[in-house]
Amino acid sequence: MADSDCVMVMGSNMAENHPVAFRWPMKAKVNGATLIHVDPRFTRTSAMADIYAPIRAGSDIAFLGGLINHVVNDQRWNSDPFFKTFLLHYTNAATLIGDDYKDAEDADGVFSGLMEYKGGAPAWPYNGFVGQYDPKSWGYKRPGSGSSAQGEAAANTARSGEVPGHTGEGPKSHAPSGKEPTSATPGGPPFDALVKSLLKPPAEKDETLQNPRCVFQLVKRHFARYTPEMVERVTGCPKETFLKVAKALLDHSGPDKTCSFAYAVAWTQHTNGPRVIGCAALLQLLLGNFGRPGAGIMALRGHASIQGSTDIPTLYHSIHGYMSAPSALKKHDTLRDYLADETVATGYWANEPKFMVSYLKSMYGEAATRGNQFGYDWHPKILGDHSHLPMFVAMNDGKVKGMLLIGQNPATSLNARLERAGMRKLEWLVVKDNWVHESATFWRNAPEVKSGEVKTQDVKTEVFFFPSAQIAEMEGSFTNTQRMLQWHYKAAEAPGDCRSDSWFTYQLGKRLKRLYAESTAPRDACFNRLVFDYEHGDAAERQRGEPDATKLLKEINGFMTDDPGKHIASFGDLKDDGSTTCASWIYCGVLPAPDQNRAASKRPDPPGQPGAQLNWGYAWPANRRIMYNRCSADLAGRPWSERKKWVWWDEAQKKWVGYDVPDFATTKAPGTPAKAGAPGMDALSGTEPFIMKPDGRAWLFVPSGLVDGPLPTHYEPAESPVRNPLYKQQASPVLKYWKRPDNELVQPGDSRFPHVITTYRLTEHYLAGAMSRWNPWLAELQPELFIELSPELAAEKGIKNLDWVRISTPRSRVRAKALVTRRLRPFTIDGKTVHQVGMPWHWGYEGIVTGDVVNELTALVGDPNVTIHEGKAFVCNVEKA
Amino acid sequence: MAQAMGFFTDTTVCIGCKACEVACKEWNQLPATNGGANTLSGDSYDNTRRLDGIHWRHVRFVEQFTPDRSQGRWLLMSDVCKHCVQAGCLEVCPTGAIIRTEFDTVVIQSDVCNGCRDCIGACPFGVIDINPASGTAQKCTLCYDRLQVGLEPACSKACPTDSINFGPVADLKKMAEARVGRLHGQGETRAYLYGADEKMLGGLNSFFLLVDKPEVYHLPPDPKMPTRRLKSSTWLSVLGGVVVGLAGLVSFRTRGSRP
């Protein structure tokens, strides 16, 4: 970001919540870059911005869609060959979409294929979809198919816990081949024939970009109604400010300039969060701001290693390295079925059989053989959506017996009363944390217990508390938002019984293995066959029971099965026959030899030289610092400009070179044509940079992989004070909502709850407060819960600064002190005044500083792709208490 | 003496994160207000409110918005002891507890301080106060203990955006002049340096880049040494004495005339 000419922060309060990372945009700013902040509130980030654009919470796609519409109609954008070349060759702009596709433009805001939701397993009725799409019609047009009879292949990025429609009559959305595997589908290993059987004829294209069914024309038409006037009507941002933002982005994009975006959970925590990000990606692709220095979209993660926890996932729906978790709802009966269903035949994901077999070897070791599908049957399968929201609904239904809470505090989480009610139904609960926080004492100190509504003696849950070691008291790695692993060492011994999370997991796993050792039940084979040996080499650590972090890293990195001392140096060396063992293919190379922990490397580049800091930590994949960096060169492989040079084709050496590790086949010349009918990387030409995509191109139009439509579309949040000014469709037609009496939603325009509320974090506190509200130095900085509101709303309600205020939603009501400030402002939305308020959600009933639980106000309603809740935009009432 | 060391605080890149406040407290082991159970001030995001004996760094938040929000900014500034070249506190200290160090910084030696509070009134910036934990007057030491072993002060080390710069004062002044020039070039013509000039108490070894009048940041526009004020206040005292004397005479007379 320090290399950016313009930085747009939106959906993030970067200065407050990522102050250390914010040094980079500030460096860019000191060097003359323009800093833009788009946000409902004027925050410490806005204070640093050259342009502050206020928008109503939940209207991000309207704003970004407006920028897209502005860009495609801009004169310079239409005449500068840079934009045209990038668009035509590096994106799917020219690809034709099948004739059956109907855009939101033609159907009041919904896409073709909308139908009633019929999926899910009877044993797990918690998937929450209010509707579903059959995405078949969104596919590319292919010769002979007439229309898009088949779904498209998608890399495994964002997926729901199930495939909608798979168990009903509806077609399968993610079948790469569009056909169920049959007995004729080749098996393996080797799985080369299976991958080849999944090939499809290439999609049709119109390189003049004139065909009305080509992606570019569909995009242009889709966003035509997002005019500057419409942007003002929907978002409340003055048209002039919006146009200033559009001009700044265009002025700082091109062959010798780049813009970057940064976002955080204020883009994700919506019923269409992934689509907001997709909308920004679409815009950045139009502007040529990908795979180049100072370009891209930065996902600012909320924890030190939250990136690591998606790579080596704590997520229910994926296994290591972004492969899908085997699912009972998909055709995943055998390893062959799984591979036929999941593998994308062209592009780098064609190697998935190698990644999967190596992963199974890491799980089951010697027991995993060709004869037993490498232990595939022992691997657990998911039943549906097992993420946070449905789990707590299931808990309320008595379907969950016990819970391990490690670094989580659900007693202050979404619709907190509902979550605490769920916890009261548990037989047992383990809390492993720094402090005895709200989730450890919900049975004693929760508001409903204090009020007498619930009696402590009626709560049967047995609660165990395990004190946690702190990060400086253990060894291991962080993976940060740059996908960079950094090793940290133990600086001090943890006091008393405090132990690391890996200690807890290791010790629990060992005890479970002992418990099931005598069992012959097939379901217990997953414990009995599991390889679980991380005994520490150091005697004192072994005595304490700590696992060896380097042994974990070795399993993740991978090694030769018959010679474990020989580590895997590159994922290119992985095999699908069991000869390689590797837990997470994307991390290959971090430990290429037993004594070479590249995560621990801390050598910066010499000052003043252009470089990618390749010896500082280790970034997956293959230590590449900027992904898809083939984009930094033109079609012939030359840098677009001297100023934005990154990697390029060296004709003399016949290979790609540069400051960074090239994210491309090293010796594939720019002029290499795609090989017709070939699987894998050969299917992509020397000018197709997006090697993880089956067509080598970035997708402006997303034919598969998302369950809520191929293009981003502005929907109102599930709760909104206004009707959707853009379409007849009010909210996402396929969002996830769990209808229960304790989870009621406000209908659009309900005058009892007229204000838009957004929740957020402050620099001074961390999440639910377990790491800050117990620290006197942090507690004194923000000691009490408050609500930020404008002087206009305060005057209307007779509220003065520091008055107690009551905030209510159908779920609950809380009390907070008023912080009356002009940093908040009323918006005019579709001709109507809408007040925006905001509340930080750090407080609870334990700790040095306490306050009401703001999350009691929120609802269990979320996005259909990733099931994240909508905590950033809902409605409430505000009164003087 | 080693060369003069100090701070240059560039308020235009301060993000108000308060890392300086916390790093200072952690290194110097200063207590929190009421053990952390503080109250909301209602003054923007400033809840520690001022510099005193337990707050040696303090971030000020100044919200400036027109009623229609057509103009608006949020000024953020990390304040600290100025380590004046002509230091009033040092001058009035009766026990010699306040010293000028080899780094040309001003440090209160807690074990020599008798808590007489003279320095508190003598500081034109309101930097000093009693630390209830020690019962002595305390303020920023510019991390004297860290400087002695070649480390930079905790606050500047923690500052993520380099708003707080530490170094030889002569170098900092050059850096600051360049920064002002650059800001003027970028159109921020309100930028100027506060305290870099020797005219202000011989120069402040901890000086600032501001974009509004000093008063807006609660800084005195023209700070004076206590001795400079002494002359006029002496005459005031004399005058006061005369008035009291006269009043006494009058009052006695009144009483005397009572029936």
Distance, in Å, from the CA atom of B56 to the CA atom of A56, rounded to the nearest integer, reads: 39
Distance, in Å, from the CA atom of A814 to the CA atom of A737, rounded to the nearest integer, reads: 23
A20, A782, A822 ranked by CB distance to B160: nearest = A20
Q: Does B45 touch chain A (CB under 8 A)?
A: yes
Final residue belonging to a domain, choices A579, A597, A615? A597
What angle do the packed helices A239-251 and A228-235 form, to 10 degrees?
120
CB contact under 8 A, A777 and B25: yes
Specify the CATH number for the domain of residue A873. 2.40.40.20
Q: Do B65 and B160 belong to one domain?
A: yes
Q: Where are the beta strands (DSSP E) in A727-812?
A: 736-737, 755-760, 786-789, 804-808
Q: Do A341 and A251 belong to one domain?
A: no
Mean pLDDT, consecutive 10-residue segments, chain A of 881 residues?
A: 97 97 96 97 98 98 98 98 98 97 97 93 93 94 63 43 34 40 78 95 96 98 98 98 98 98 97 97 98 97 86 91 93 96 95 98 98 97 94 97 96 98 98 96 98 97 97 93 95 95 96 96 94 95 95 98 98 98 98 98 93 96 97 98 98 98 97 96 98 97 94 98 98 97 96 98 95 97 98 98 98 98 98 97 98 98 95 98 94
Token pair in block for residue B150: 């070649």
Cβ-contact A674, A685 below 8 angstroms: yes
Q: Do B32 and B114 belong to one domain?
A: yes
CB contact under 8 A, B17 and A19: yes
Which residues on B lie below 8 Å from A782 (Cβ)?
45, 47
Number of structural domains chain B divides into: 2
**Cβ neighbours around A490 below 10 Å, total:** 17
Q: Does B181 touch chain A (CB under 8 A)?
A: no
Q: Do A227 and A83 belong to one domain?
A: yes
Cβ-contact A467, A496 below 8 angstroms: yes
Q: Do A64 and A19 belong to one domain?
A: yes
Distance, in Å, from the CA atom of A193 to the CA atom of A197, rounded to the nearest integer, reads: 6
In a domain, A754, yes or no: yes
Final residue belonging to a domain, choices A597, A619, A650? A597
Q: Do A870 and A750 belong to one domain?
A: yes
Q: Do B80 and B203 belong to one domain?
A: yes
Q: Do B125 and B235 belong to one domain?
A: no
Element (H, E) at A658: strand A655-658
**Cβ neighbours around B55 below 10 Å, total:** 26
In a domain, A582, yes or no: yes
CA dihedral A33, A38, A44, A50 (to 10 degrees): 30
Distance, in Å, from the CA atom of A566 to the CA atom of A741, rounded to the nearest integer, reads: 58
Specify the CATH number for the domain of residue B27. 3.30.70.20
Q: Do A667 and A815 belong to one domain?
A: no
In a domain, A206, yes or no: no
Residue of B nearest to A27 (CA): B161
Q: Do A753 and A826 belong to one domain?
A: yes
Q: Does B134 touch chain A (CB under 8 A)?
A: no
Token pair in block for residue A122: 């009877």
Which residues on A lie below 8 Å from B65 (Cβ)?
42, 822-823
Specify the CATH number for the domain of residue A222. 3.40.228.10
Which residues on A lie below 8 Å from B33 (Cβ)?
780
Helix (H, G, I), strand (E, B) or coil at A713: coil
Name the pairing type of β-strands B57-65 and A827-829: unpaired
**Cβ neighbours around A667 below 10 Å, total:** 11
Q: Does A849 touch chain B (CB under 8 A)?
A: yes
Q: Is the bond into A621 cis (omega within 30 degrees of 0)?
A: yes
**Residue B240 domain boundaries:** 225-259
Residue in the structure block whose two tokens are 């500083």: A849
Residue in the structure block whose two tokens are 């994307």: A586
Distance, in Å, from the CA atom of A874 to the CA atom of A818, rounded to the nearest integer, reads: 19
Which residues on A lie below 8 Å from B34 (Cβ)?
780
CB contact under 8 A, A42 and B162: no
pLDDT for A172? 38
Distance, in Å, from the CA atom of B191 to the CA atom of B194, rounded to the nearest integer, reads: 10
Q: Do A249 and A366 belong to one domain?
A: no
Name the pairing type of β-strands A34-39 and A6-10: parallel
Q: Do B183 and B255 belong to one domain?
A: no
**A712 closest CA partner among A726, A723, A696:** A726
CB contact under 8 A, A822 and B69: yes
Which residues on B lie below 8 Å from A848 (Cβ)?
35-37
Distance, in Å, from the CA atom of B175 to the CA atom of B152, rounded to the nearest integer, reads: 17
Three-state SS across chain B?
A: CCCCEEEEEEHHHCCCCCHHHHHHHHHHCCCCHHHHCCCCCCCCCCCCCCCECCECEEEEEEEEECCCCCCEEEEEEEEECCCECCCHHHHHCCCCCEEECCCCCEEECCCCCCCCCHHHHHCCCCCCEEECCCCEEECCCCCHHHHHCCCCCHHHHHCCCCCEEEEEHHHHHHHHHHHHHHHHHCCCCCCEEECCCCCCCCCECEEEEECCCHHHHCCCCCCCCHHHHHHHHHHHHHHHHHHHHHHHHHHHHHHHCCC
Q: Do B206 and B235 belong to one domain?
A: no
Which residues on A lie below 8 Å from B44 (Cβ)?
821
Which residues on A lie below 8 Å from B46 (Cβ)?
none
Distance, in Å, from the CA atom of B127 to the CA atom of B113, rounded to the nearest integer, reads: 16
In sequence order, the 6+-apart residues with CB closer than 8 A to the CB of A705 are: A152, A154, A155, A156, A157, A158, A159, A174
What angle do the packed helices A273-286 and A60-72 form, to 10 degrees?
20
Helix (H, G, I), strand (E, B) or coil at A111: coil
Q: Using only C-alpha atoms, what is the Rg of chain A?
A: 27
A54, A763, A784 ranked by CB distance to B18: nearest = A763
Q: Do B149 and B247 belong to one domain?
A: no
CA dihedral A78, A79, A83, A88 (to 10 degrees): 70
CB contact under 8 A, B17 and A825: no
Which residues on A lie below 8 Å from B72 (Cβ)?
42, 52, 822-823
Number of structural domains chain A divides into: 4
Residue in the structure block whose two tokens are 């380590």: B83
Cβ-contact A733, A107 below 8 angstroms: no
Distance, in Å, from the CA atom of A295 to the CA atom of A785, rounded to the nearest integer, reads: 38
Which residues on A lie below 8 Å from B39 (Cβ)?
783-784
**Residue A875 domain boundaries:** 736-880
CB contact under 8 A, B74 and A42: yes
Q: Do A641 and A749 belong to one domain?
A: no
Q: Does A786 touch chain B (CB under 8 A)?
A: yes
Token pair in block for residue A658: 């540069």
Q: Do B217 and B230 belong to one domain?
A: no
| Whole-structure pTM value | 0.94
Q: Do B24 and B121 belong to one domain?
A: yes
**A664 closest CA partner among A632, A628, A637, A698:** A628
Name the pairing type of β-strands A813-820 and B72-80: unpaired
Q: Do A757 and A853 belong to one domain?
A: yes
CB contact under 8 A, A780 and B40: no
Q: Do B258 and B209 belong to one domain?
A: no
**A272 closest CA partner among A712, A700, A705, A702:** A712
**A161 closest CA partner among A880, A866, A874, A878:** A866
Helix (H, G, I), strand (E, B) or coil at A571: helix
Q: What is the DSSP string of A340-369?
A: HHH--SBSGGGGHHHHHHHHHHHHHGGG--
Q: Do B153 and B243 belong to one domain?
A: no
Q: Report, as ranges of residue numbers, the positions in chain B whose pLDDT lies below 50.
A: 252-259
Q: Does B133 touch chain A (CB under 8 A)?
A: no
Distance, in Å, from the CA atom of A642 to the CA atom of A659, rounded to the nearest integer, reads: 13
In a domain, A311, yes or no: no
Distance, in Å, from the CA atom of A646 to the CA atom of A282, rounded to the nearest integer, reads: 22
Element (H, E) at A8: strand A6-10
For the four alpha carbons of B116, B121, B124 and B130, in that order, the dihedral sign comes to positive
Nearest-5° angle of CA A777, CA A781, CA A786?
Answer: 140
CB contact under 8 A, A763 and B63: no
End-to-end CA distance of chain A: 45
pLDDT for A304? 79
**Cβ neighbours around B76 below 10 Å, total:** 26
CB contact under 8 A, B37 and A781: no
Final residue belonging to a domain, choices A247, A280, A299? A299
Distance, in Å, from the CA atom of A150 to the CA atom of A351, rounded to the nearest integer, reads: 22
CB contact under 8 A, B15 and A778: no
CB contact under 8 A, B65 and A20: no
Distance, in Å, from the CA atom of B63 to the CA atom of B86, rounded to the nearest integer, reads: 33
**A629 closest CA partner among A350, A157, A293, A259:** A293
Q: Do B156 and B247 belong to one domain?
A: no
Q: Does B177 touch chain A (CB under 8 A)?
A: no
Size of interface A-B (CB pairs under 8 A): 118
A19, A48, A825 ranked by CB distance to B69: nearest = A825
Distance from CA of B16 to the nearest CA of A (A): 7
Distance, in Å, from the CA atom of A856 to the CA atom of A267, rounded to the nearest integer, reads: 21
Is the ipTM above a cut-off of 0.90?
A: yes
In a domain, A850, yes or no: yes
